Amino acid sequence: MRRFAGPMTSPAAAVIPSGVVSTNQPAGPAETPQSPEQLKRTNPVQHDLRPVLVVSLVAVVALLPVIIFGIPNGADLFNHFRFALPFYDSIRSGVFYPGWLAESNNGLGDPRFRFYPPGLYYFLAATRILFADWYVGSVACLVLLSVLAGLGIYFWARMFLEPKLAMWAGVFFTIAPYHLNQIYQASLLSEYAACSVLPFAFAFVERICRRKKAYDIAGLALSYGLLLLTHLPLAVIGSLSLAIYAILRLERSNITTTLVRLASGVVLALGATSFFWTTMLFELPWIKGNSTQPNSYYDYRLNFVFSPAALTNRNTWYANLLTLTLLGFFVPAIILVSRFGKQRRGLFAILILFVGSFVMTTPLSRPIWAIVPKLSEVQFPWRWLSITSMAGSLLLAASIPKWHERVGQLRPRDLAVALLFVLSILFTANEVVRDTDYLPRAQFQPLMHEIRGAVSFKDWLPIWANDVRQVEKMDAPVEAGSRTVTITVWAPQQRQFHIDAGPASVARVRTYFYPHWLATTGGQNLSTTAAADGTLLVAVPEGAADIAVVFREPERVRLAALVSGVAVLAILALAIFGWRQSSSHQLAAADGSEATKLFVSPI
């Protein structure tokens, strides 16, 4: 937290006067002619250009302080760039997915790349390559994520709302207090990035429940896969939320078909991301984060909002303020909450997400945290405010017509609602956006050099490793007693050295031991093990020898990469097939409509 570490379901879909689009009528025949206005309202693929541009513009304006003053220096900022810099270097050297972060811990390295999702770092590397500058590339990355998040909410909202109201949903999310806090105060960059793709996953779940289009399955696979590759805690939260949302939106008439389509999207997403999660799950026992006594700082039981722990936990204390601000921001929707269920079942499902996600941040949800597998590893219950912000933005936009109807008959309570809404915006502008430590280019660029080689969190260390301060000092990268060693290659995932003749001994390499370090000489494997302090020991033969120590991935990693490639091709093929199928159906419908006009028109 703050400074701490397509077409609608039916061509005949009606529009409720309040601006909420009905999606509950049974689907009509594809060839039913529609007016241009009906097509505009019922086809979310044909977005109005103006709402999209407005959402994009507001998303850029929301990060205008970043563009003008610099990158917010939150507690997690440089932890992310300790990943991003060597990740970019690795890609430039031809290694698309590195397995070892060699420069951390003063050159001893660590395996964090194998356990932290790489999505954000691919994006940062892409903007760095595009703009040839880390500062400009990072600002561009953040702005693009802001725009993508707003458009994702707009895309989801168009399933229920007219373009103008869907536009407001996107606007509300881009300026929602918790969403802005992710970037301005906490520098939760991966969570911020995940919030840019999760709305699309919700939208494609809705589309699959309403339609039978192949490219919606591909859309779900793509968006859910990107979520898995961006932020694991939000992937857990998002998976639970998506499952609940899908259950609420299922139609009994085609439940089996819909479940198969939803499952297909999830399976394709898991297949496309298997290069990451298979390694993570298999090797998790090899790092200290999975074996040492957990830090109470990360104990979910001490991080609920509105709990006694907030009195002594600065994290949770600020989370309380942010949650109250968020409630004030969405209070116009909360006041009219009883009317959403009557208007639309779809908005009722979103209401369940809003209320349920908020409850998950409080001690009331403690039993759920205790029994749902992996939920406790989310660590901070206030992460659920991401879902609250998304669902609340849709509900707030849907409430606009109702508030418009009440303008002529406002009561004192309504003025209090307006006051709370304005106060929440003022708090966000002042405490979240203005009260931020910005890093302009002149300060940012030097820090990019200083963070290289920094000591990592102990949770990323291999289980065999001592803390850097407890590693025996070495005067050279490789030491072998009295035998002379000459370094010939020292690359992130490869070390080569020549050792002079002498009795068989053990060479100590200034690199943390990990099971994938393989030593060879003359085509023969050499034994490797961990020293008492966790550094790499290589058994060297007598006589002079040229020794190569290489970080070699096991066969299962190559197999997972193959599965990922096949799944990505399948998603692409499904998207192309679905697009061509949809285009042919639209063409057939247009031809049918023209034929009808020719038949009934006089000649």
**pLDDT at residue 601, rounded to an integer:** 36
Percent of the chain with pLDDT over 90: 70
Q: What is the extent of the structural domain holding 537?
A: 468-553
Query: Using one digit for the tens of pLDDT, what is the confidence trace for 498-548?
Result: 999 999 999 999 999 999 999 999 989 999 999 999 999 999 999 899 999
On the CB side of 230, CA atoms within 13 Å amount to 26
Q: What phi and psi, each to the nearest 5 degrees, are found at residue 443?
A: -95, -30
Percent of the chain with pLDDT over 70: 86
Quote the pLDDT of residue 298: 84
For 302-306, what is the mean pLDDT?
92
pLDDT tens digits along 420-431: 999 999 999 999
Asked if pLDDT for residue 93 goes beyond 60, the answer is yes
Domain count of the fold of the chain: 1
Residue 20 in this model has a pLDDT that exceeds 60: no
Q: Is residue 371 in some structural domain?
A: no
273/308: higher pLDDT = 273
332-388 confidence digits (pLDDT tens): 998 887 665 445 667 889 999 999 999 999 999 999 999 998 899 899 999 999 999
The mean pLDDT value of the chain amounts to: 87
**What is the model's pLDDT at position 344?**
62
Which residue type, as a one-letter code, is found at position 72? P
- What is the CATH classification number for the domain harbouring 497? 2.60.40
- pLDDT tens for 108-159 read 999 999 999 999 999 999 999 999 999 999 999 999 999 999 999 999 999 9
Residue 349 falls within a domain, yes or no?
no
d(CA 219, CA 521) in angstroms, rounded, equals 49
- The per-residue pLDDT for 320 is 92
- Residue 119 inside a domain? The answer is no
How much is the pTM?
0.88
Report the alpha-carbon distance of residue 110 to residue 59 in Å, rounded.
Answer: 37
Q: Does residue 12 surpass a pLDDT of 60?
A: no
Instruction: Report yes or no on 53 lying in a domain.
Output: no
Mean pLDDT along residues 19-32: 44
pLDDT 10s digits, 27-82: 444 444 444 444 444 554 455 789 999 999 999 999 999 999 999 998 889 999 99
The pLDDT tens digits for 565-576 are: 999 999 999 999
Q: Is 535 within the bounds of a domain? A: yes
Q: What does the pLDDT look like over 484-501, one tens digit per residue?
A: 999 999 999 999 999 999
Residues 11-18 have a mean pLDDT of 35
Closest CA to 205 of 189, 214, 216: 216
Domain membership flag for residue 479: yes
Name the pLDDT band for 216 (thresholds 50, 70, 90): very high
Residue 255 φ then ψ, to 5°: -65, -40
So what's the pLDDT on residue 13?
A: 34
> Would you place residue 404 in the very low, low, confident or very high pLDDT band (cuts 50, 70, 90)?
confident
Q: With bands split at pLDDT 50, 70 and 90, how would you rate the model's confidence at 585?
A: low
Confidence of residue 291 (pLDDT cuts 50, 70, 90): low
- Identify whether 452 is part of a domain: no
Q: What is the mean pLDDT of residues 160-178?
A: 95
Say which residues have a Cβ less than 8 Å from residue 362's Cβ, sequence separation at least 6: 304, 305, 306, 307, 381
Reference 539, options 558, 554, 524; nearest CA is 524
Between CA 248 and CA 258 the distance in angstroms is: 12
pLDDT of residue 220: 97
- What would the mean pLDDT of 169-182 be, rounded to a whole number? 97
The string of pLDDT tens digits covering residues 435-456 is: 999 999 999 999 988 888 888 8
Lowest mean pLDDT among 139-148, 241-250, 292-301, 502-511: 292-301
Confidence of residue 584 (pLDDT cuts 50, 70, 90): low
pLDDT computed for residue 292 by the predictor: 56
Residue 490 belongs to some domain of the structure: yes
